[in-house]
Amino acid sequence: LVMRPKYATLFAALCLPVTCLADTTRMDITLAGSPAGENVYISNPDGSFSSTTTLSIASIHIKSVMTGKMEGKRLVQYRLEQTGQGPGAVITFDHGKLHVKSGATDTDIPLIIKNEPYFGNLHPQFSASVMLAVDFSKKTSQEIKSFCPDAATFLSPKFTPLQEKTISAGKARMFD
């Protein structure tokens, strides 16, 4: 394909913005069939992301906003601001240094995340990596050590593979 310079510039001007678009995922959260909130996750081609979760359960209202950066599958930095019950919290992580501020607590914690997968409580997109770590061929309970960025701690959730269903987007795996 040979293009004249003015057409090449027009082509680049029209197509470049399309290749730089962010990917947005919106998830409605329901409890017992009633709306309870939503999560909006935006991932950008440069690895940066934002995730906002709002929850309202009876008189409890929680808002959690996380922004950060992934390098490949590794979380290298993030900032989380959470409000709701209690004093609220701000957690920042940048290349191995974790800072937590909540109420009277204001502390730095060295943190090494080796190859552990991630698990998300209020930011569910992180749970995809821990579910990929489960050996689906073993139908027994498996405890997977993972880092939970929205709690700023390591957890060991248990997963039991149940079944796999074919859906329009491919396959969906069910866990207990």
Say what the pLDDT of residue 35 is.
Answer: 93
| 60 and 71 Cβ atoms separated by less than 8 Å | no
CA distance 58 to 38: 15
Cβ-based neighbours of 172, under 8 Å, separated by 6 or more? 164, 165, 166
Q: Is the pLDDT of residue 57 over 70?
A: yes
pLDDT of residue 73: 86
What does the pLDDT read at residue 10? 38
| Residue 44 in this model has a pLDDT that exceeds 60 | yes
* pLDDT the model gives residue 174: 87
Residue 128: Cβ within 10 Å count: 12
| pLDDT mean across residues, the chain | 85
pLDDT at site 20: 56
H or E element in which residue 131 lies: helix 127-132
User: Does 7 score more than 50 pLDDT?
Assistant: no
Pairwise pLDDT comparison (65 vs 13), residue with the higher score:
65
Q: What is the mean pLDDT of residues 109-118?
A: 86
pLDDT digits 0-9 by tens, 128-155: 888 889 998 999 999 999 999 988 889 9
Which segment of 5-9, 27-31, 54-58, 81-85 scores lowest on mean pLDDT?
5-9
pLDDT at site 121: 85
Q: What is the pLDDT of residues 78-91, one digit of tens each?
A: 999 999 888 889 99
Q: What pLDDT does residue 9 have? A: 39
